[in-house]
């Protein structure tokens, strides 16, 4: 496990130098600097995304794939970032697999699990109390559209705990995914490390893993058509993160997404459906940048650049006649 380092404080050059030296001494300069592992990564499109994901003020991870062509792009795509509430897509998928197998029903009712105030790190699992009973369909809807934590913990309990979610991900072939705690515990103990300068394996995933998750769900690899529709419909009605992926999208683009927010980190993962039917899966994880508004602005700009890079007339790919198929999926 990497050592914890003091976060970057202020904009003074001397402090920034000390921050970068400490970070690089622990992780190496390649960890902080944007990079793309594909040998063809010097396309104009890649260079644009790398520029937008420049990480001197905090790590930024990006992965995207055009599902119609297989063209992909990534920046720090294989590096771990805090999933925060983006993990809720996998939690929903785990429960819906049980529905498909006849082990549960969307009409089954479970109690929302409400956090009980406790001292951070005082227990291995944060205490909760039972709240109102709701159907599984209602819990999934609240979990994705409004990022309800009590609904999420109800579903984690319903599937048998976080290990069941990890098991689902492994069976789906998603390796770089790890849900370690329920949401009540994760939120209570948030702030233990600064994700801009520390990589915590707990409750983390890589951007590439999350794009793999989105791609497989969209393509119907693991769930029935009806279960797949439950997740994507809820993602299309997501009410959180209006300043993130949806912020700069053209009105005619359908955005299905799920946000995540924790200490010094903001994220958004989703599916973009263009007017011509092209679908792009993308995952953007941003740490640092000074403020939440700055992190959200980075997400919005990167998302729009990805969309334009794949779809706009005279786009980078169209101008260069450039095509890439990633082996990461």
Token pair, residue 90, equals: 């996998």
pLDDT of res. 182: 97
In angstroms, the CA 165 to CA 118 distance is: 26
Helix (H, G, I), strand (E, B) or coil at 302: helix
Q: Helix 225-236 and helix 88-100: axis angle, to 10°?
A: 150
pLDDT of res. 326: 33
All structural domains of the chain with their residue ranges: 38-320
Instruction: For residue 302, count CB atoms less than 10 angstroms from its CB and return exposed for 0-12, middle for 13-18, buried for 19 or more.
Output: buried
Token pair, residue 209, equals: 């893993």
pLDDT of res. 45: 86
Per-residue tens of pLDDT for the chain, all 329 residues: 333 333 433 444 444 444 445 444 444 545 555 555 444 446 788 889 999 999 889 999 999 999 998 999 999 999 999 999 999 999 999 999 999 999 999 999 999 999 999 999 999 999 999 999 999 999 999 999 999 999 999 999 999 999 999 999 999 999 999 999 999 999 999 999 999 999 999 999 999 999 999 999 999 999 999 999 999 999 999 999 999 999 999 999 999 999 999 999 999 999 999 999 999 999 999 999 999 999 999 999 999 999 999 987 555 444 444 333 332 22
In angstroms, the CA 285 to CA 259 distance is: 10
In angstroms, the CA 248 to CA 4 distance is: 35
| Neighbour count for residue 120 (Cβ, 10 Å) | 13
pLDDT of res. 322: 37
Helix (H, G, I), strand (E, B) or coil at 121: coil
Asked if the 38-320 domain carries CATH number 3.40.710.10, the reply is yes
pTM of the model: 0.84
Residues 6+ positions from 303 with CB-CB distance below 8 Å: 244, 245, 247, 248, 249, 268, 272, 282, 284
């Amino acid at each position: 496990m990497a050592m914890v380092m003091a976060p970057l404080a202020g904009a003074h050059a001397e402090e920034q130098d000390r921050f970068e030296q400490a970070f690089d001494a622990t992780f190496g300069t390649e960890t902080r600097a944007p990079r793309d592992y594909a040998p063809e990564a010097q396309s104009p499109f890649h260079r644009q995304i790398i520029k937008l994901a420049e990480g001197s003020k905090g790590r930024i991870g990006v992965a995207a794939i055009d599902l119609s062509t297989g063209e992909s792009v990534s920046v720090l795509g294989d590096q771990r970032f805090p999933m925060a509430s983006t993990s809720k897509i996998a939690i929903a998928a785990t429960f819906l697999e049980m529905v498909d197998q006849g082990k549960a029903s969307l009409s089954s009712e479970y109690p929302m699990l409400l956090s009980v105030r406790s001292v951070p790190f005082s227990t291995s699992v944060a205490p909760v109390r039972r709240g109102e009973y709701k159907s599984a369909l209602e819990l999934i809807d609240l979990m994705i559209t409004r990022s309800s934590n009590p609904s999420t913990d109800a579903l984690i309990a319903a599937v048998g705990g976080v290990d069941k979610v990890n098991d689902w991900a492994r069976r789906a072939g998603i390796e770089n995914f790890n849900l370690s705690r329920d949401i009540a515990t994760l939120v209570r103990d948030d702030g233990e490390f600064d994700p801009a300068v520390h990589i915590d394996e707990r409750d983390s995933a890589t951007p590439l893993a999350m794009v793999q998750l989105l791609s497989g769900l969209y393509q119907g690899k693991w769930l029935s058509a009806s279960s797949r529709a439950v997740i994507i419909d809820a993602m299309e009605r997501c009410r959180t993160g209006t300043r993130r992926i949806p912020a700069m999208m053209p009105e005619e683009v359908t955005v299905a997404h799920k946000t995540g927010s924790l200490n010094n980190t903001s994220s958004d993962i989703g599916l973009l459906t263009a007017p011509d039917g092209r679908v792009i899966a993308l995952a953007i994880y941003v740490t640092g940048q000074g403020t939440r508004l700055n992190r959200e602005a980075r997400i919005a700009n990167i998302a729009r650049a990805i969309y334009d890079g794949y779809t706009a007339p005279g786009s980078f790919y169209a101008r260069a006649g450039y095509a890439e198929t990633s082996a990461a999926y």
